[in-house]
Structure 1
Amino acid sequence: MADTSRPTWEWQPYTKIIHRSSYPAIDSKDPANSAEGKVVVVTGGGTSIGRGVATSFVQAGARIVAIIGRRSEVLESTKAGLEELGSAKILTYAVDILDEPGMNAAFEDISRISGSGIDVVVASAGLGTKQLATAGTVASWWKVFEVNIKGTFITFRAFAANKSAKGTPTFISINSNAAHLGAFPEFSAYVSAKMGLAHLLPSLQVENPDLRIVSIHPGVIESEMNADAGFSFSKDNVNLPGDFALWLASPAAAWTAGKFLWSHWDVEELAERKGEITAKGELTMGLKGWPREVEVEVRP
């Protein structure tokens, strides 16, 4: 029986069709969504969303899938499972994403082994801490910023230095609907960090037009972090963000650069509206209610 004593987060509509699991347009087993020959890196790749993303790319025929996480035993267990799903070479690196030298060394090694650089990075590692702003320590509150923003930034820089020279290398940041749904008690660090991360990615896109850089809300996925946060979830299948990330790295999603999308939204509807989305500047972070159509009077 579901626990009704705790709050639940749920999807919000943007497309008419809302998905709770993978579907034909993004299916990793469909040759139309092939990742053949690609070199892919997933941080937080040993568990939950990261493991789901790695699974999708392996099933789609990626040549190399490297998973990065802090716990070597978890990574090795996930590696064994991934090796049963396809022919991809699975690499594991037990590195904390805040360890800049360690992350740089891992990415350099992946690039060396691939012989062609890295095509796709999915930054899935994150941290959510439940803490009142006036309780706990400043250090534990600030740690959420360090992991979510600094850790993602370190990951991006390591990728940029080892990106593939072919195609459009893609960087996908696993964010959260918390970045734009408002304030939540005891989650001031998490919400603020995710908002900051959401604003960071478009800046990276502007500075690196040769890359595709996208933020996504992965859906409501069961994970250790979500359980620790004390939320009940109407859970989606982990194959949804995995296959959605796969689609984002495909030529069909070239127009999504610099955007923030939800895995729930139907990609065929999104593609039909891409001209309107681009023209109106939709699916980007901003200030609600601004600009407003008024007759402007400028005073000296």
Structure 2
Amino acid sequence: MGTYMITGATGGIGASIAESLAARGHELILVGSSADRLAKTVTDLGSGAAAKTQTFDPNDPASAARTSRVRTLVLDLSEPPRIEAALAEAGLPDRLDGVVHSAGVVELGRVADLEADEWIDQLMVNLVAPAELTRLLLPALRAARGQVVFVNSGSGLNANPGWAAYAASKHGLRALADSLRAEEPELRVISVYPGRTATEMQRKVRAQENAGYEAESYIQPGTVARLVLDAMETPRDAVVTDLVIRRQPAP
């Protein structure tokens, strides 16, 4: 079994990926900005809540074993210069089989309306923090010939009106992944481009678009997690470099 770090692990795609990795018996380091939400995520992993397939029993050895392999790390990704000190204090393992960058923020707005702080916030969390975290984890990743997964977005491939700052951060994330892949040939680097997914971020986006939100209208986080795990478990003679996921239109 391996050890994986997941950012944005308290909801949506990150939580679903954590559930899938936990079910396979891997050790997890869950990263989030809220200790309370991280604690809830660990409880949900013990109950299989993300997959909605199990009933929690605190006396169940399988549930207890799952949560015993999980540790949490509170990290503010909006301030990348502080990441190094936080990791040093946390005392992370010398080998890391993978890191999944799933954290992200979004603030829609036209170029004429977005102010500098809104650009900075999205660039820090969506691009600079993953770059800094990856830099700091490279020795552990190299030791395990590990994987780096960047959960990008359709906005990392195309930029639409009102999405300039978010799309810029995600285009940058794509460039980060491509450069890392070329610089670190022994690592497997995967960029994932999900379409609109049923997450709290999507709920916020729909509110900013002055539109309604119905979870069943979007790709489910568990579906994205399943495809990401398939890519991560590809035999070592191949690598899925870019994974584009789009919702299947209704017949």
Compute the TM-score of the two structures, normalised by the length of structure 2: 0.79
The change in CA–CA distance for 1:101 and 1:130 in structure 2 (over 3 A counts) is closer
Structure 1 residue 138 displacement after superposition: 1.5
Pick aligned residue for 2:162 from 169, 186, 189 = 186
Cα deviations by residue, 1:107-141 (Å, 9 ceiling, x for unpaired): 554633xxx51101100011111112111421212
RMSD: 2.3
CA distance in 2, matches of 1:100, 1:136: 22
Structure 1 residue 256 displacement after superposition: 2.6
Bigger mean CA offset, 224-233 vs 119-128: 224-233
Name the structure 2 match of 1:130: 108
Conserved 8 A contact 2:77-2:124 = no
1:44 corresponds to 2:21:
no
Name the structure 2 match of 1:57: 21
Structure 1 residue 220 displacement after superposition: 2.7
SS of 2:140's equivalent in the other structure is: coil
Cα deviations by residue, 1:26-70 (Å, 9 ceiling, x for unpaired): xxxxxxxxxxx11011000011111011001011221x1111011
Name the structure 2 match of 1:175: 152
The change in CA–CA distance for 1:228 and 1:90 in structure 2 (over 3 A counts) is same
Alignment of 1:9-24 (within 5 A): none
Aligned residues: 222
Q: Which runs of 5+ in 2 are unaligned?
A: 49-62
Pick aligned residue for 2:227 from 244, 251, 254 = 244
CA distance in 1, matches of 2:219, 2:243: 16
The change in CA–CA distance for 1:101 and 1:69 in structure 2 (over 3 A counts) is same
Counterpart residue type for residue 262 of structure 1 = V
CA distance in 2, matches of 1:253, 1:217: 22
Counterpart residue type for residue 65 of structure 1 = L
Counterpart residue type for residue 172 of structure 1 = V
CA distance in 2, matches of 1:245, 1:183: 23
1:76 corresponds to 2:39:
yes
Structure 1 residue 199 displacement after superposition: 1.6
Conserved 8 A contact 1:218-1:240 = no
Name the structure 2 match of 1:146: 124
Conserved 8 A contact 1:42-1:124 = yes
Q: Which structure: larger Rg? A: 1
The change in CA–CA distance for 1:106 and 1:142 in structure 2 (over 3 A counts) is closer
Q: Specify which structure has the bigger relative contact order, considering alpha-carbon pairs within 8 angstroms and separated by 6 or more residues.
A: 1
Name the structure 1 match of 2:60: none
SS of 2:235's equivalent in the other structure is: helix
The change in CA–CA distance for 1:177 and 1:242 in structure 2 (over 3 A counts) is same
CA distance in 2, matches of 1:118, 1:158: 12
CA distance in 2, matches of 1:193, 1:178: 9
Counterpart residue type for residue 42 of structure 2 = K
Alignment of 1:1-300 (within 5 A): 37-62=1-26, 64-85=27-48, 86=63, 87-88=65-66, 89-100=69-80, 102-105=82-85, 107=87, 109=90, 111-112=92-93, 117-163=95-141, 165-166=143-144, 168-180=145-157, 182-230=158-206, 234-252=217-235, 255-256=238-239, 259-263=241-245
